Amino acid sequence: MTTNIFAFVVVLGILIFFHELGHFLVARLFGVGVEKFSLGFGPRLFGRTVGITDYRISAIPLGGYVKMVGDEPDAELDAELIPYSFTHKHVFKKIMIVAAGPFFNLLLAVIIYTGFFTIIGTEDVRPVVNHVVAESPAAGVGLQPGDRVAAVNGETVAAWGDINRLIAEGGGDAVRITVNRDGNFFDVTVTPQTKMAKDILGDDAPYYDVGFSGLAPLKAVVGEVADGYPAKKAGMKKGDLIVSINDRAVDSWNTMKTIISQSKGDPLAVRVVRNGETLAVEIVPVLFSEENLLGEKVDSYRIGISSPGIDIPDADRITIKRGFFQALLEGVDQTYQISRLTLLSIGKLIKGTVSTKTLGGPIMIAEMAGQQAKAGLTNLVFFIAVLSINLAVLNFLPIPVLDGGHLMFFFIEAVIRRPINVRMREIAQQAGIFILIMLMIFVFYNDITRIFAS
């Protein structure tokens, strides 16, 4: 619990600091006076006043704000303060000041990703073919285990991730692969097979499969056996190698999983190898229902075993570090992709295709922050990046009270060339506050329900 609270305060503090720093710096750039720069709401705990700005830490660490001179349209100002008033600045300057907050949250994510790609790098697998699927495009052109992929479409590759990226960029078109086999270089042209899979949001997404891999297929070796499931009752043990089901050879974990999922609950004759001895057992899969990441109910047949995981030999592992500019481009792309995913998720929530049970509030964020902190500093920093992007996207939504609501008013002001009626803004702000309060109540309810459900 202590770790969760501490991690939550740290994460929220960093996110709010960058958000408010964006508002503050652009406000000062355009000559707007800043009266308060506060991390947290409520009573002032401590701080320091420099010029007219009170830099403070406040008692409630669930937000923050920048109080600018004249940021209330109907406020009366002394004549000498008008040049420093937010309200009296050109509308496009006001737009930039308001947009700077969520923009700085996106910038924080780009900084994190760029630093990670440059300094720490990403783990990958060396570009050596470890497995070729029978009757695949790769097998058709004669590729073999042990072949080293030197380039794809003329672009040198350093790791298997580069191969996947270049094939995907081809959009299913034929690709030219340069192969190094025992020091001899030659080119082959391969046309990927277009296949469909479900993305994280449950939508159909095409991918392009050549039929080779840098990893050996995961064998159907039993990792753990769950209590109360058919595999346990049939006497299966950790380390058993499943070699056939209903006389159908099992060459990988995926093959085994497919056979079980298609069984419709019919009995399965399973042959396993244990300590060099072949054993036969009969197992009847059970129907298992669970919710996926989108809160959708998913049914599948299972026997109650898990895999021991992929064991990648150290000789096959490599760490790829990018130069600054490449890392920056990848950091921007990563931030864009997560922003896009967040917007799509919001759209699916509104349409009802994603369950509102997936929404979480401060309690859920605190739990996740604590989990990431326990997993290591790298995990926590990545969590901050993702949360920062989510905060930016949500703040850009055109809801009064949020930055997006203010931007909506200012864009209207730019079109009609006069500020919106103060009374109309007040009504919209009240509606926005009501929406946010209802949303907070709902996510707190989700958090509490989730705790009792677990």
- DSSP letter for each residue of 181-232: ETTEEEEEEE-PEEEEEE-TTS-EEEEEE-SEESSPPPP-B--EE-TTSHHH
Structure tokens at 186: 């030659």
Out of 20, 35, 80, 155, the active site residue is 20
> Which bin fits 235, alpha (ψ -120 to 50), beta or left (φ > 0)?
left
Structure tokens belonging to residue 234: 């049939």
Tokens describing residue 13: 């503090």
Do the beta carbons of residue 74 and residue 383 sit within 8 Å?
A: no
CA distances from 155 to 121, 145, 165, 332 (A): 20, 21, 11, 22
Contacts of 52 (CB under 8 A, 6+ apart): 33, 34, 35, 69
Helix (H) or strand (E) holding 302: strand 297-302
List all residues 6 or more positions away from 80 whose beta carbon is below 8 Å from its beta carbon. none
Indicate the DSSP class of residue 307. -
Amino acid at 115: G
DSSP three-state, residue 279: strand
Token pair in block for residue 189: 């042209």
Determine whether 291 is an active site residue: no
Q: How many CB atoms lie within 10 A of CB 309?
A: 9
- In angstroms, the CA 141 to CA 191 distance is 10
Cα torsion for 381, 387, 392, 395, to the nearest 10°? Answer: -150
Do residues 62 and 44 lie in contact, with contact meaning Cβ atoms separated by under 8 Å? no
* Short-list 45, 48, 52, 39, CA closest to 13: 39
Catalytic residue positions?
Answer: 20
